[in-house]
Amino acid sequence: MKLFDLHCDTLYRAYTEKSTLFNDTFHISFGKSAYIEEYIQCLAIWIPDEYRGERAEKLFWGCVGKLKETELFQCRTRADLAGVKKSGVILTVESGAALGGKLENIAQYAEAGVRMMTLTWNGTNELGDGIGVEQAGGLSAFGVQAVKELEKHRIVLDVSHASEKLFDDVAGIAKKPIVASHSNAKAVCSHRRNLTDEQFAVIRQSGGIVGLNFCVDFLNNDPQKASRYDILRMAEHFWSLGGEKCLAMGGDFDGADIPTDMTGIESMGALYELFLKHNYRESLVNDLFFNNAYAFFENTFDRWDKNGL
């Protein structure tokens, strides 16, 4: 089995808990992933909603420093992706609050290796409103500028956590594919964090990708009953909408409560087998677990390398 996962909070945990990315008590430990044939993990730097300005910037750079302490292979280009032998990581950011309200930080973060940014978390930041804001608006004037600069500096726009208006604003001005790195289907579980079928169609039509989230609240309307079978249900729904080539994994490991029949990265093999036992063809399951996310970043990096965009 190969695995490409679009979102986890393990780097944030390792930094804030003064631990490592090889802590076997975390959902993800790169020591526990050795059974995976090839493993690429997007490592998010989460910025809590109460962090602003210099405090948010300091958290970002602290997490970057934590990543540098490891010997994990960081993928910044198409050549890096192709060079992954066993495991690799892609640096991402969860919440544009990380910018501290400064457009000039975008170039610096890109230089540090950031390749995808979730524009908001649940609340309001300098870019606009998240899904948890009552009577939420969309992108702020700064947010509009930031979207353009992020695309200019080769950072993929991630609309997980976005308010409906912010999602629409981003979809209206983005010139490159957009992503929901860790979001499920609202038609299956009605939580506000999940995507409508219409939003999924917008992402698919943009050439983007959606990562399935393992958070129990986003999997089942009764979170206590959530199981890995709900992940299967989510995939089935998105596949029914034409998502065979734009659906991936975005587990939210180390950032969410996961089903009781899963413990972390070591559970992904059993999840893979669950899909096969339900008679889904192996090529489709491989696309979900690895190929679609790999192709998305391969194509994105290739376009940037060729066109400087």
pLDDT for the residue numbered 108: 98
Give mean pLDDT, residues 282-298.
98
Q: Is the pLDDT of residue 200 over 90?
A: yes
pLDDT digits 0-9 by tens, 7-30:
999 999 999 999 999 999 999 999
Rg of the chain's alpha carbons, rounded to an integer? 18
pLDDT at 306: 64
Place 304 in a pLDDT band, splitting at 50, 70 and 90.
Answer: confident
Is 172:162 a contact under the CB 8 Å cutoff? no
Average pLDDT over residues 64-73: 95
Report d(CA 2, CA 82) in Å as an integer. 14
Please give the Cα distance from 141 to 40 (Å, whole number): 35
Express as a percent the part of the chain with pLDDT over 90.
96
Handedness of CA 278, 241, 133, 181 (dihedral sign): positive
Residue 45 near residue 92, CB atoms below 8 Å = yes
DSSP letter (8 states) at residue 72: P
Higher pLDDT, 85 or 57: 57
Using left for φ > 0, alpha for ψ between -120 and 50, and beta otherwise, residue 23 falls in: beta
The pLDDT, as a whole number, for residue 308 is 53
CA distance 143 to 303: 24
Q: Residue 286: its pLDDT value, please? A: 98
**Predicted local distance difference test score (pLDDT) of residue 300:** 93
Does 149 score more than 90 pLDDT? yes
Q: Give, in degrees to the nearest 5, the angle at Cα 38 between 304 and 67.
A: 65
Tens digit of pLDDT for each residue in 105-119? Answer: 999 999 999 999 999
**Res. 309 pLDDT band, cuts 50 70 90:** very low
Residue showing tokens 């230089």: 111
**Percent of the chain, pLDDT > 70?**
98
- Split at pLDDT 50, 70, 90, the class of 302 is confident
Q: Which residue has the tokens 């910018």?
A: 99
Q: Answer for the pair 91, 113: CB distance below 8 angstroms, yes or no.
A: yes
Q: What pLDDT shows up at residue 141?
A: 98
pLDDT at 58 over 90: yes
- What pLDDT was estimated at residue 131? 98
Residue pointed to by tokens 């001005």? 173
Return the DSSP state at 187. Answer: T
Amino acid symbol at 195: L
pLDDT at 136 > cutoff 70: yes
Contact status, residue 116 vs residue 136, Cβ threshold 8 Å: no
Instruction: Identify whether the C-beta of residue 203 lies closer than 8 Å to the C-beta of residue 240.
Output: no
